[in-house]
Every structure is written in C-alpha cells, then in structure tokens.
Amino acid sequence: MPSEWVKAVLDLLEIRKAVVSELSSHVNTRVEMNNQKASKKEYPFLGYQFTSPYIEGDGYGIYTKETSGDDVEVTRTTFPRLTLSMTAYDMDPNESFTLAKKAHAWFSFQGYDYLKRNGLVVTETGSIENRDTLIADDYERRNGFDVQLRTTEQLSMMLPAIETVQIGRSEE
C-alpha cells in the first residue's frame, strides 16, 4: 500500500465562513470578498482579502505516530499564520473610519473568543490606515487594516508495515 495523505486541516473556505458571518453580524453590514466582478456596490460595506493565505510557522512541527493494525499513521501538526486585509468602504470618510474601527475592535476584542473556538487565534491586529481611492470624479472613502490569524494544520500519512527485510552482505 503506497503512502497517502489523509487530511489537511487548513481550509480557507471554512475560515471565511467563520469570520464573515460573525463579523457581518457584529458590524451590522455586508462583508464581501474584495476584487470580485460585480455591479456597483451599495455603501457601506466591508471588504476582505487573504493577502498572505499561508505563512509557514517556525520549526518542523509536532510529529506523532499511531499504529493501526500493522500500519503506522504519522501526523505532523503545525501552526501556520495567514494575513487577512480588511477594508471599510463608504462615500463618507467618517462612516468609513467608524466601520473600520468596529471591525478592528471585533478582531482585537469582541470576536477574539469566537475566533478561538473556531480554531483561529488573532496574533496581530494592525493599525487602521487610509486607503481612499479616486473613482471617476469622486473619492471612495476607504479605511482598512490587516489582521494576522494563526490556525492549526495537520498533515497525516499512512506508512505500511515492513513485512520482510532482506539481510545480506554486499559484494564489492
């Protein structure tokens, strides 16, 4: 039986679901992925983007072995990080900042325990910065920040039992 990978825990779709639903409820507005092809958006809203979806952790991870019959399952557990860029959009600069501040507070305080229960730990919440942009004849007001999350990833493989070993001298 050849070695095969049986699971990988890091799942961006699940991370998106966990973050978007609760954050949207907290800030009481839409939370949408940035850079999507769509018609004109209604303000206000929060946009997000994984700018660094996988930052490998330090070291080689934690290795464990479990026997299953004659086979051995080897599991490597690591703690990668990912960077999520959040941007608040509005036509009013004060409203854009207020929305960004609500989202920032959720990541750094109100949503911390919720994220932790969902396998995500906030390791850093950056400063809120101006990200305004000119669209046609008017500015779209944007304020945003980056948040770094840490999660757990497990990679496993089954190693078949060694059934026979050939012992002998090599002739040189």
Residue 133 lies in a domain: yes
pLDDT per residue as tens digits for the range 27-49:
999 999 988 776 667 899 999 99
The H or E element containing residue 18 is helix 12-27
- For the chain, how many structural domains are there in total? 1
pLDDT per residue as tens digits for the range 129-139:
999 888 888 88
Q: Which residues contact 96 (CB under 8 A, 6 or more apart)?
A: 44, 88, 89, 90, 141, 142, 143
Residue 82 lies in a domain: yes
Residue 67 lies in a domain: yes
Closest CA relative to residue 94, chosen from 56, 126, 132? 132
> Residue 22 — very low, low, confident or very high, per pLDDT cuts 50/70/90?
very high
Q: What is the pLDDT of residue 172?
A: 64
70 pLDDT exceeds 80?
A: yes
Closest CA relative to residue 3, chosen from 71, 93, 95, 91? 71
Of 2-11, 92-101, 154-163, least confident by mean pLDDT is: 2-11
pTM: 0.81
The H or E element containing residue 113 is helix 112-117
Residue 171 lies in a domain: no
Q: What is the pLDDT of residue 116?
A: 92
Segment 123-149 shows an average pLDDT of 91
Residue 30 lies in a domain: yes
4 pLDDT exceeds 60?
A: no
Q: What is the pLDDT of residue 35?
A: 81
Range of the domain at 24: 5-159
Supply φ then ψ for residue 143, to 5 degrees: -135, 140
Classify residue 110 by its DSSP letter.
Answer: I
Strand, coil or helix: what is 57? coil
Residue 81 lies in a domain: yes
Using CA atoms, how far apart are residues 132 and 55, in angstroms rounded to an integer?
A: 28
Segment 148-169 shows an average pLDDT of 86
Residue 170 lies in a domain: no
Residue 167 lies in a domain: no
Q: What is the pLDDT of residue 38?
A: 65
Q: What is the CATH number of the domain that holds 129?
A: 3.30.2000
Q: What is the mean pLDDT of the chain?
A: 87
